[in-house]
Amino acid sequence: MADRYDAVIVGAGINALACALHLASKGWRVGLFEGAESPGGAVKSGAYTLPGFTHDWAAMNLSLLAGSAFFRKHGKTLQQHGLSFAAAADCFASSFPDGSWLGVSTDPAATAARLAAVCPADAAAWGALVKAFPNQAATLFALLGSPMTMRALASFIFKTVRRRGMAGTLDLTRFLLASPRRWLDETFADARTKAMLAAWGMHLDFAPDIAGGAIFPYLEGMANQSFGMVIAQGGAQRVTDALVAAIRAKGGHVECGAAVERIVHRGRIARSVVLAGGREVTADRAVIAGVAPAALVRLTGGTRNDRFDAAMTRFDHAPGTMMIHLAMADLPDWRAGADLRRFAYVHIAPSLDQMARTYAQAKAGLLPDEPVIVVGQPTAIDPTRAPAGQHVLWLQVRMAPGRIRGDAAGRILATDWAGAAEPFADRAIDILEAHAPGTRARVLARRIVSPAELEADNPNLVGGDQISGSHHLAQNFAFRPVRGHADGTTPIERLYLTGAAVWPGAGTGAGSGFLLAQKLAGA
């Protein structure tokens, strides 16, 4: 077994795997060392309830991957190694307490008709956004794909001013700084339209009143309308399996159950890593750490740059998530109508005020009295994930405090997840039951994964934070994870950081890993 590589990569999450594949395709000898017994991090699946029922552990929506620059480069290779997507035409919807619903499908007429039935002005506003989206997308995707170096930022600003003019550039800047509520209030009239879109902000730590969050409800709404949503045929594990197979086919090494205990650096240059048990693996060109920021300080013993080390140690994590995996005799009978059974996602997040309250409670360490629930219905899109006629439900319960200080409803007395997981899951199922009566009776088996278990399974998910760090403005764009290091560089030469804690942040688009690999390989 080789103990010397061009690049030694710590961890085998999606960004680390993407980085390794691109480097291997450029002729680098790469070795990945993962502490867990299987690769993939949050991108994996398994029979977590009953045999024959395939559940995605955390990540389900793979639209970011399918539309990414990384997939444009390496997609054919991944498809040759078994990856295929199942497309959802009915992408996301929201169910409301009064029995109504709204949803976005790839059929513009269907989406417009739903909005018009609620509020004709909102249908008109939506139509105007869809019409303007191709022009807006060119600018926004250029920003989100930028490496966030000073040179790249200067180039982006210059091109934007030239294309949009100073007034248009200032309008774009204002939009990027706006909170979801501010943009939604300026754009739409009906509270349900606003809530349907604002729910996407809660996926990324953007409660309605957090500055800088408007872009996420906008992009998710427009992208789902324009391109649809995809999941992996057979489960998210197929992504990880294809990446690992492609890396190995190019001569790369992926080793699990191989925890890295120390990154060795001498003369301010990264030289090697030491695995549990004392084995040392040498890196001739780069050590790439796909770890949470605080873990980088621990592994290096400090970089001897006080500003950098302090920022890594203080890196702010978002509230956690509880996952509930349900094996089902049938899909829910939604009170709002059978049409909801076709949608990949159904959000239960009835109002901006409820979302704001839920977020505030979680940030205060309280179990929310009315958590935001994302109901994934993957077998409506990919029936192969369950026995014929049966289904799986994938529930994200947002927001959940990583460390519990109390219960906002005053009913759950436990202040650790060992005691709080079951009653908090019951609270979430009760909310789902109110929107889809009879759901509980259709449950064949369930598996609860608390924020604590998410972190135990993957230490990068600190406190169950599935997005590997808050995306608030002080920790996003050029400040993710810290000013001067948004490109993954560190104060130690030949040591790099990758993962969702590095720009461009969370999601399955493999952005930070691919950008870093391009930087190292020269293209």
Mean per-residue pLDDT, 89-108: 97
Please answer whether residues 260 and 114 qualify as being in contact, where contact means their C-beta atoms are separated by less than 8 angstroms. Answer: no
pLDDT of residue 484: 95
Q: In the predicted model, is pLDDT for residue 1 greater than 60?
A: no
* pLDDT tens-digit map of 42-81: 999 999 999 999 999 999 999 999 999 999 999 999 999 9
- % of the chain at pLDDT higher than 70: 100
Residue 87 tokens read as 């497309």
Beta strands of 181-312 (E only): which ranges?
229-232, 253-256, 260-266, 269-275, 280-289
Query: How far is the first Cα of the chain from the last one, in angstroms, to the nearest whole number?
Result: 29
Cβ neighbours of residue 431 closer than 8 Å, sequence gap 6 or more: 348, 370, 371, 373
Query: For 516, what's the count of Cα atoms within 13 Å in the CB-facing half-sphere?
Result: 35
* pLDDT tens-digit map of 283-320: 999 999 999 999 999 999 999 999 999 999 999 999 99
Kind plus residue range of the DSSP H or E element containing 168: helix 150-177
Count the Cβ atoms, other than its own, within 10 Å of residue 389.
9
Tell me the sheet residues that pair with 346: 93, 375
pLDDT band at 234 (very low <50, low <70, confident <90, very high): very high
* pLDDT tens-digit map of 209-221: 999 999 999 999 9
pLDDT of residue 494: 98
Residue type, 232: A
* pLDDT tens-digit map of 364-403: 999 999 999 999 999 999 999 999 999 999 999 999 999 9
Mean per-residue pLDDT, 503-515: 96
Please answer whether residues 75 and 65 qualify as being in contact, where contact means their C-beta atoms are separated by less than 8 angstroms. Answer: no
Cis previous bond, 504, omega within 30: yes
What is 95-164 written as a DSSP string? E-TTS-EEEEES-HHHHHHHHHHH-HHHHHHHHHHHHHHHHHHHHHHHHHTS---HHHHHHHHHHHHHHH
pLDDT of residue 476: 96
**Nearest Cα to Cα of residue 427 among 376, 465, 372, 377:** 372
Q: Delineate the domains of the chain, giving CATH numbers in brackets.
A: 4-44+64-84+235-316+468-521 (3.50.50.60), 122-225 (no CATH)
Cβ neighbours of residue 488 closer than 8 Å, sequence gap 6 or more: 288, 496, 497, 498, 502, 512, 515, 516, 519
d(CA 90, CA 105): 4
Residue 180 tokens read as 């979801």
Q: Is the pTM of this model over 0.85?
A: yes
Nearest 10 degrees: CA dihedral of 164, 170, 175, 177? 140
pLDDT band at 352 (very low <50, low <70, confident <90, very high): very high
pLDDT of residue 372: 98
* pLDDT tens-digit map of 435-473: 999 999 999 999 999 999 999 999 999 999 999 999 999
pLDDT of residue 150: 87
Mean per-residue pLDDT, 481-485: 96
Tell me the sheet residues that pair with 288: 9, 496
Mean per-residue pLDDT, 258-262: 98
pLDDT of residue 473: 97
* pLDDT tens-digit map of 123-150: 999 999 999 999 999 999 999 999 998 8
